[in-house]
Amino acid sequence: MFKIDGGLLSTKSYVITNNHVVDHADKITVKFQDGKEYIATVKGTDPKSDVAVLEIETDDYPALKIGSSSRLEVGEWVVAIGNLFGLSHTLTVGVVSAKGRSSVGINDYENFIQTDAAINPGNSGGPLVNLDGKVVGMNTAIFSQSGGSMGIGFAIPIDLAKNIAQQLINTGEVVRGRIGVVIQPLTRELAESFGVEQGQGIVVAQVSENSPAQQAGIEQGDIIVSYQGNKVDNVGRFRNSVSLTAPGSKEDIVVLRNGKHKNLTITIGKQDNDQQIAEGPAQSADEIGITVQSITPQRAEQYNIKTSSGVVVTHVKPNSIAAMAGIKTGTIILQANRKPIKSASDFKRAIKDSAGNKNLVLLIKDNDFQRFVVLKW
């Protein structure tokens, strides 16, 4: 955890940390390096971005200054600070390995900074700072096959964390923008079929009725190439951009339709808690032979689903482990290893967590009946 001071939160004793650090906590204590401790209260949380804001009754401590993650460059040196394995105030050094990592399967909204600075359990919520000592990210997760650092760590960009924190402080909730489309990556095969170059944009797979997108003139099959004057080439980053746009604002969006560019203006709508802004690719689990997607109103209608919980199986590989267990297209997966599954990202995490023992217990629902199945591979 790190206290924010200067600029955005200059007069408030707020601490930004990860939601997963404080989730389900009965009591939260903030401890400073001089040994003083303060009981903290949760000002607000946003599980979708894994950001939480705490409030403490003191304002007499120096704090780190906030930098700009948008100005951060790949190859730039950064320092990760945390309480890894219970060893307080530990510092590790590395470089920015990549920016804009999305579809990692950690959060619903992802735009991670990837770094090879050693990040281990206990680093979560700690600052990632540049060589000027300014916070550019918040350490959040690692990719590891051993449980320890393998040189692949992820941090939430401070620009994103700051935006979420300000909303939580002002209103206690996060309001996200919505345009009402289902989108997917422009793969090589799709690019060839549309007669465009791969990476030229993202494809609109579906437009919701009476949505801001439909009212703006966006059609199924359009390729979104620009939003707010910025090039669009990644599903995850586009979702983040739309979600962080204030509802009611009018934004420029450019689509490619039948080989011609069309300049449109879209009025951003407000996303309800149960709505997805725009959906990324389906999550595949090759280990067991299925592909799943989050349940949306459109998929609920397509597969005659009467629940908003779980994820729906959209493809089953013949003769796979899942197929032999009786899982089929349209099956709803409610739990994995006794934990609720609320999104395709949740399911991907469950598969990753089961990689060690290669054993997965699923609670599935077919028609109106639920049952457990055990998959081993």
Question: Domain boundaries in the chain?
Answer: 2-55, 65-171, 177-270, 283-376
* Residues 42/22, Cβ–Cβ less than 8 Å: yes
Which active-site residues does the annotation give? 20, 50, 124
The reported pLDDT for the residue numbered 277 is 43
Range name among 6-10, 240-244, 301-305 with the lowest pLDDT average: 6-10
* Residues 335/374, Cβ–Cβ less than 8 Å: no
The reported pLDDT for the residue numbered 371 is 81
- For the chain, the distance separating the N- and C-terminal CA atoms, rounded to the nearest angstrom, is 39
Q: Could you tell me the CATH superfamily of domain 283-376?
A: PDZ domain (2.30.42.10)
How does pLDDT run across 336-375, given as a tens digit for each residue? 988 899 888 889 888 888 888 888 888 888 877 778 788 8
Is 278's pLDDT higher than 60?
no
Domain 2-55 of CATH type 3.40.630.40: no
Q: What is the pTM of this model?
A: 0.63
Residues 6+ apart with CB under 8 A from 109: 48, 49, 160, 239, 240, 243
* Residues 293/250, Cβ–Cβ less than 8 Å: no
Is 203's pLDDT higher than 80?
yes
Cα 133 from Cα 63, distance rounded (Å): 11
Angle CA(58)–CA(59)–CA(60) in degrees, nearest 5?
A: 105
Q: Which two tokens stand for residue 101?
A: 């990592």
Same fold across 2-55 and 177-270:
no
- Report domain 65-171's class: mainly beta
Phi, psi (deg, nearest 5) at residue 236: -60, -45
The reported pLDDT for the residue numbered 144 is 63
CATH classification of 177-270, choosing from 3.40.1360.10, 3.40.50.300, 2.30.42.10, 3.30.1950.10? 2.30.42.10
DSSP secondary structure letter of residue 69: S
